[in-house]
Protein backbone atom coordinates (compact mmCIF):
# COMPACT_ATOMS: atom_id res chain seq x y z
CA UNK A 1 0.00 0.00 0.00
CA UNK A 2 1.25 3.50 -0.72
CA UNK A 3 0.63 6.82 1.01
CA UNK A 4 -2.33 7.58 -1.29
CA UNK A 5 -4.24 4.48 -0.28
CA UNK A 6 -3.50 2.55 -3.47
CA UNK A 7 -3.21 -1.07 -2.40
CA UNK A 8 -2.22 -4.10 -4.40
CA UNK A 9 -1.21 -7.73 -4.36
CA UNK A 10 0.75 -10.07 -6.62
CA UNK A 11 -1.01 -13.45 -6.55
CA UNK A 12 0.26 -16.81 -7.76
CA UNK A 13 -1.13 -17.55 -11.23
CA UNK A 14 0.16 -21.00 -12.30
CA UNK A 15 -0.67 -22.43 -15.70
CA UNK A 16 -2.07 -19.14 -16.95
CA UNK A 17 0.61 -16.45 -16.77
CA UNK A 18 2.57 -15.92 -20.00
CA UNK A 19 5.00 -12.98 -20.11
CA UNK A 20 6.70 -11.28 -23.01
CA UNK A 21 10.15 -12.49 -23.92
CA UNK A 22 13.01 -10.03 -23.35
CA UNK A 23 13.62 -7.89 -26.41
CA UNK A 24 16.83 -7.70 -28.44
CA UNK A 25 16.16 -4.03 -29.06
CA UNK A 26 18.08 -1.80 -26.60
CA UNK A 27 15.41 0.91 -26.62
CA UNK A 28 12.71 -1.63 -25.84
CA UNK A 29 14.82 -3.20 -23.09
CA UNK A 30 14.73 0.08 -21.15
CA UNK A 31 10.96 -0.38 -20.75
CA UNK A 32 11.16 -3.94 -19.47
CA UNK A 33 10.24 -4.75 -15.89
CA UNK A 34 10.09 -8.14 -14.21
CA UNK A 35 6.98 -9.65 -12.68
CA UNK A 36 7.99 -9.04 -9.04
CA UNK A 37 9.09 -5.41 -9.49
CA UNK A 38 5.93 -4.69 -11.51
CA UNK A 39 3.77 -4.27 -8.40
CA UNK A 40 6.43 -2.15 -6.71
CA UNK A 41 6.55 0.10 -9.79
CA UNK A 42 2.78 0.63 -9.74
CA UNK A 43 2.60 1.40 -6.01
CA UNK A 44 5.58 3.75 -6.12
CA UNK A 45 4.39 5.63 -9.20
CA UNK A 46 0.59 6.03 -9.15
CA UNK A 47 -2.24 7.19 -6.90
CA UNK A 48 -5.28 5.51 -8.51
CA UNK A 49 -6.14 2.46 -10.58
CA UNK A 50 -7.19 4.75 -13.44
CA UNK A 51 -3.67 6.20 -13.60
CA UNK A 52 -2.31 2.67 -13.81
CA UNK A 53 -4.67 1.73 -16.63
CA UNK A 54 -3.65 4.65 -18.84
CA UNK A 55 0.09 4.27 -18.20
CA UNK A 56 0.65 0.55 -18.62
CA UNK A 57 2.17 1.13 -22.04
CA UNK A 58 5.17 2.69 -20.28
CA UNK A 59 6.48 -0.76 -19.39
CA UNK A 60 6.89 -4.18 -20.93
CA UNK A 61 6.30 -7.02 -18.44
CA UNK A 62 8.80 -9.88 -18.76
CA UNK A 63 9.34 -12.98 -16.67
CA UNK A 64 12.47 -13.42 -14.55
CA UNK A 65 13.74 -16.69 -13.13
CA UNK A 66 14.05 -16.76 -9.31
CA UNK A 67 16.46 -19.34 -7.92
CA UNK A 68 14.77 -19.35 -4.51
CA UNK A 69 11.56 -20.57 -6.15
CA UNK A 70 13.27 -22.57 -8.91
CA UNK A 71 10.93 -21.07 -11.48
CA UNK A 72 9.73 -17.98 -13.29
CA UNK A 73 7.01 -17.00 -10.77
CA UNK A 74 3.64 -16.83 -12.55
CA UNK A 75 1.75 -13.83 -11.16
CA UNK A 76 -1.34 -11.73 -11.70
CA UNK A 77 -2.25 -8.57 -9.85
CA UNK A 78 -5.13 -7.05 -7.91
CA UNK A 79 -5.25 -3.31 -7.14
CA UNK A 80 -7.66 -1.11 -5.18
CA UNK A 81 -7.66 2.65 -4.63
CA UNK A 82 -9.02 5.10 -2.07
CA UNK A 83 -12.02 5.93 -4.27
CA UNK A 84 -13.19 2.30 -4.12
CA UNK A 85 -12.19 1.22 -7.63
CA UNK A 86 -10.52 -2.14 -8.30
CA UNK A 87 -8.77 -3.68 -11.28
CA UNK A 88 -7.14 -6.99 -12.17
CA UNK A 89 -4.06 -7.18 -14.41
CA UNK A 90 -3.07 -10.49 -15.99
CA UNK A 91 -0.23 -11.42 -18.38
CA UNK A 92 -1.95 -13.57 -20.99
CA UNK A 93 -0.10 -14.77 -24.10
CA UNK A 94 2.53 -12.06 -23.65
CA UNK A 95 0.03 -9.22 -23.37
CA UNK A 96 -1.37 -7.44 -20.34
CA UNK A 97 -5.11 -7.80 -19.90
CA UNK A 98 -6.76 -5.28 -17.59
CA UNK A 99 -10.21 -5.80 -16.10
CA UNK A 100 -12.35 -3.52 -13.99
CA UNK A 101 -13.29 -5.58 -10.95
CA UNK A 102 -16.63 -4.59 -9.40
CA UNK A 103 -16.50 -7.74 -7.24
CA UNK A 104 -13.19 -6.59 -5.66
CA UNK A 105 -12.04 -10.19 -5.00
CA UNK A 106 -9.32 -12.24 -6.66
CA UNK A 107 -7.71 -15.58 -5.90
CA UNK A 108 -5.44 -17.61 -8.21
CA UNK A 109 -5.87 -19.58 -11.44
CA UNK A 110 -7.81 -19.76 -13.70
CA UNK A 111 -7.97 -16.29 -15.22
CA UNK A 112 -10.29 -13.55 -13.97
CA UNK A 113 -12.76 -13.92 -16.85
CA UNK A 114 -13.24 -17.59 -15.93
CA UNK A 115 -13.94 -16.73 -12.29
CA UNK A 116 -16.53 -14.14 -13.32
CA UNK A 117 -18.36 -16.67 -15.47
CA UNK A 118 -18.22 -19.22 -12.63
CA UNK A 119 -20.30 -16.89 -10.44
CA UNK A 120 -23.31 -17.93 -12.52
CA UNK A 121 -23.10 -21.41 -10.99
CA UNK A 122 -23.97 -19.98 -7.57
CA UNK A 123 -26.82 -17.57 -8.26
CA UNK A 124 -29.09 -19.70 -6.04
CA UNK A 125 -27.14 -18.77 -2.89
CA UNK A 126 -28.69 -16.34 -0.44
CA UNK A 127 -27.88 -15.17 3.10
CA UNK A 128 -31.51 -15.78 4.04
CA UNK A 129 -32.50 -19.09 5.56
CA UNK A 130 -34.94 -21.31 3.70
CA UNK A 131 -38.33 -21.88 5.31
CA UNK A 132 -40.24 -25.10 5.53
CA UNK A 133 -41.52 -26.81 2.40
CA UNK A 134 -44.01 -29.55 1.65
CA UNK A 135 -43.03 -32.71 -0.23
CA UNK A 136 -45.53 -35.50 -0.86
CA UNK A 137 -47.82 -34.07 1.79
CA UNK A 138 -45.04 -33.91 4.39
CA UNK A 139 -43.78 -30.61 5.82
CA UNK A 140 -40.00 -30.51 6.01
CA UNK A 141 -37.73 -27.92 7.59
CA UNK A 142 -33.95 -27.31 7.34
CA UNK A 143 -31.68 -28.92 9.92
CA UNK A 144 -30.53 -25.53 11.19
CA UNK A 145 -29.16 -22.09 10.38
CA UNK A 146 -27.32 -21.35 7.15
CA UNK A 147 -29.67 -23.07 4.73
CA UNK A 148 -29.65 -20.06 2.42
CA UNK A 149 -25.91 -20.50 1.85
CA UNK A 150 -26.10 -24.29 1.64
CA UNK A 151 -23.83 -25.26 -1.23
CA UNK A 152 -21.28 -22.44 -0.97
CA UNK A 153 -17.91 -24.12 -1.62
CA UNK A 154 -15.70 -24.56 1.42
CA UNK A 155 -12.62 -26.21 -0.08
CA UNK A 156 -9.31 -24.34 -0.52
CA UNK A 157 -9.15 -24.36 -4.33
CA UNK A 158 -8.91 -20.93 -6.02
CA UNK A 159 -12.36 -21.12 -7.71
CA UNK A 160 -14.02 -22.06 -4.42
CA UNK A 161 -12.19 -19.37 -2.47
CA UNK A 162 -13.25 -16.78 -5.06
CA UNK A 163 -16.93 -17.68 -4.64
CA UNK A 164 -16.64 -17.87 -0.85
CA UNK A 165 -14.93 -14.46 -0.68
CA UNK A 166 -17.57 -12.92 -2.91
CA UNK A 167 -20.34 -14.48 -0.83
CA UNK A 168 -18.85 -13.14 2.38
CA UNK A 169 -18.13 -9.57 1.33
CA UNK A 170 -21.43 -9.19 -0.52
CA UNK A 171 -23.43 -10.12 2.59
CA UNK A 172 -21.56 -8.14 5.24
CA UNK A 173 -23.84 -6.48 7.77
CA UNK A 174 -23.29 -2.79 6.99
CA UNK A 175 -24.08 -1.68 10.54
CA UNK A 176 -21.57 -4.15 11.94
CA UNK A 177 -18.98 -3.09 9.40
CA UNK A 178 -19.36 0.56 10.38
CA UNK A 179 -18.84 -0.28 14.05
CA UNK A 180 -15.41 -1.77 13.54
CA UNK A 181 -14.17 -2.44 10.02
CA UNK A 182 -10.96 -4.08 11.10
CA UNK A 183 -12.69 -6.64 13.34
CA UNK A 184 -15.26 -7.42 10.64
CA UNK A 185 -12.65 -7.88 7.94
CA UNK A 186 -10.52 -10.12 10.14
CA UNK A 187 -13.53 -12.40 10.63
CA UNK A 188 -13.93 -12.50 6.85
CA UNK A 189 -10.24 -13.23 6.37
CA UNK A 190 -10.27 -16.07 8.89
CA UNK A 191 -12.38 -18.10 6.46
CA UNK A 192 -9.29 -18.53 4.27
CA UNK A 193 -6.73 -19.55 6.88
CA UNK A 194 -5.23 -22.92 5.88
CA UNK A 195 -3.46 -24.86 8.67
CA UNK A 196 -0.48 -27.08 7.99
CA UNK A 197 -1.52 -30.51 6.83
CA UNK A 198 -4.84 -29.57 5.25
CA UNK A 199 -3.32 -29.20 1.77
CA UNK A 200 -0.56 -31.70 0.96
CA UNK A 201 1.36 -32.81 -2.12
CA UNK A 202 0.20 -36.03 -3.73
CA UNK A 203 3.41 -38.07 -3.46
CA UNK A 204 6.65 -36.95 -1.80
CA UNK A 205 9.27 -38.54 0.43
CA UNK A 206 8.36 -38.18 4.09
CA UNK A 207 11.34 -35.92 4.78
CA UNK A 208 10.13 -33.45 2.10
CA UNK A 209 6.40 -33.57 2.79
CA UNK A 210 6.42 -31.09 5.69
CA UNK A 211 8.29 -28.48 3.64
CA UNK A 212 5.92 -28.88 0.69
CA UNK A 213 2.71 -28.45 2.68
CA UNK A 214 0.63 -25.53 1.47
CA UNK A 215 -0.54 -23.29 4.31
CA UNK A 216 -1.33 -19.66 5.07
CA UNK A 217 2.06 -18.16 5.89
CA UNK A 218 0.67 -14.68 6.45
CA UNK A 219 -2.55 -12.66 6.10
CA UNK A 220 -2.85 -8.91 5.61
CA UNK A 221 -5.52 -6.22 5.74
CA UNK A 222 -5.06 -2.83 4.10
CA UNK A 223 -7.00 -0.04 5.81
CA UNK A 224 -7.08 2.24 2.78
CA UNK A 225 -9.04 5.03 4.46
CA UNK A 226 -6.63 5.36 7.41
CA UNK A 227 -3.51 4.40 5.41
CA UNK A 228 -2.67 1.57 7.76
CA UNK A 229 -1.50 -1.92 6.94
CA UNK A 230 -2.08 -4.93 9.19
CA UNK A 231 -0.35 -8.29 9.11
CA UNK A 232 -0.45 -11.57 11.03
CA UNK A 233 1.62 -14.67 10.45
CA UNK A 234 1.12 -18.39 10.95
CA UNK A 235 3.21 -18.37 14.12
CA UNK A 236 1.92 -14.98 15.32
CA UNK A 237 -1.84 -14.81 14.54
CA UNK A 238 -2.42 -11.44 16.22
CA UNK A 239 -2.89 -8.49 13.84
CA UNK A 240 -0.14 -5.88 14.02
CA UNK A 241 -0.52 -2.56 12.24
CA UNK A 242 1.96 -0.26 10.52
CA UNK A 243 0.99 3.26 9.41
CA UNK A 244 2.73 5.95 7.40
CA UNK A 245 3.20 8.04 10.52
CA UNK A 246 6.89 8.38 11.19
CA UNK A 247 7.82 7.24 7.69
CA UNK A 248 9.26 9.45 4.98
CA UNK A 249 7.22 8.31 2.00
CA UNK A 250 9.63 10.09 -0.35
CA UNK A 251 12.73 8.58 1.26
CA UNK A 252 15.23 6.54 -0.70
CA UNK A 253 16.05 3.99 2.02
CA UNK A 254 14.06 0.84 2.76
CA UNK A 255 12.81 0.78 6.33
CA UNK A 256 11.98 -2.43 8.16
CA UNK A 257 9.46 -3.00 10.92
CA UNK A 258 9.88 -5.96 13.25
CA UNK A 259 6.69 -7.67 14.35
CA UNK A 260 6.45 -8.46 18.06
CA UNK A 261 7.53 -11.98 18.97
CA UNK A 262 4.72 -14.57 19.14
CA UNK A 263 3.14 -15.09 22.52
CA UNK A 264 4.25 -18.26 24.31
CA UNK A 265 2.07 -21.30 23.76
CA UNK A 266 -0.65 -21.60 26.36
CA UNK A 267 -0.60 -24.80 28.42
CA UNK A 268 -3.44 -27.25 28.00
CA UNK A 269 -6.22 -27.12 30.57
CA UNK A 270 -6.01 -29.85 33.19
CA UNK A 271 -8.50 -32.69 32.77
CA UNK A 272 -11.83 -32.20 34.50
CA UNK A 273 -12.23 -34.11 37.78
pLDDT tops 80 at residue 35: yes
Average pLDDT over residues 162-166: 97
pLDDT per residue as tens digits for the range 218-232: 999 999 999 999 999
pLDDT per residue as tens digits for the range 80-120: 999 999 999 999 999 999 999 999 999 999 999 999 999 99
Average pLDDT over residues 16-24: 90
Dist. CA 67–CA 249, nearest whole Å: 31
Indicate left, alpha or beta for 198 from its phi (over 0: left) and psi (-120 to 50: alpha).
alpha
Question: How many CB atoms lie under 10 A from the CB of residue 249?
Answer: 10
pLDDT tier, 249 (very low <50, low <70, confident <90, very high otherwise): confident
Its pTM stands at 0.89
pLDDT per residue as tens digits for the range 184-213: 999 999 999 999 888 887 766 555 555 557
CB 19 within 8 A of CB 72: yes
| Residue partners of 162: CB distance under 8 A and separation at least 6 | 105, 106, 107, 115, 118
CB 98 within 8 A of CB 87: yes
Dist. CA 122–CA 168, nearest whole Å: 13
Percentage of the chain lying above the pLDDT 90 cut: 67
- The pLDDT, as a whole number, for residue 253 is 85
Phi, psi (rounded to 5 degrees) for 133: -140, 160
Dist. CA 192–CA 197, nearest whole Å: 15
Range in 48-57, 75-84, 171-180 the model is least confident about: 171-180
pLDDT tops 60 at residue 6: yes
Range in 23-27, 91-95, 125-129 the model is least confident about: 23-27
Question: How many CB atoms lie under 10 A from the CB of residue 254?
Answer: 5
**Which 8-state DSSP code applies to residue 264?**
P
Average pLDDT over residues 19-47: 91
Residue of higher predicted confidence among 263 and 259: 259
Amino acid sequence: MNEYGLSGGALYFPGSAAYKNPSDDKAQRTKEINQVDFLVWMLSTFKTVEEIKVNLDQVSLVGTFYESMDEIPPLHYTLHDAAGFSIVIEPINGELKVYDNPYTVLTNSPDFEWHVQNIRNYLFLSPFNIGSTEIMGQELTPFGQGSGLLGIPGDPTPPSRFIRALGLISTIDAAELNKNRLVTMEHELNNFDIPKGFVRPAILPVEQEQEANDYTQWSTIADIENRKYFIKTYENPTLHGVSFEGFDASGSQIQYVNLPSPKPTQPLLPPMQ
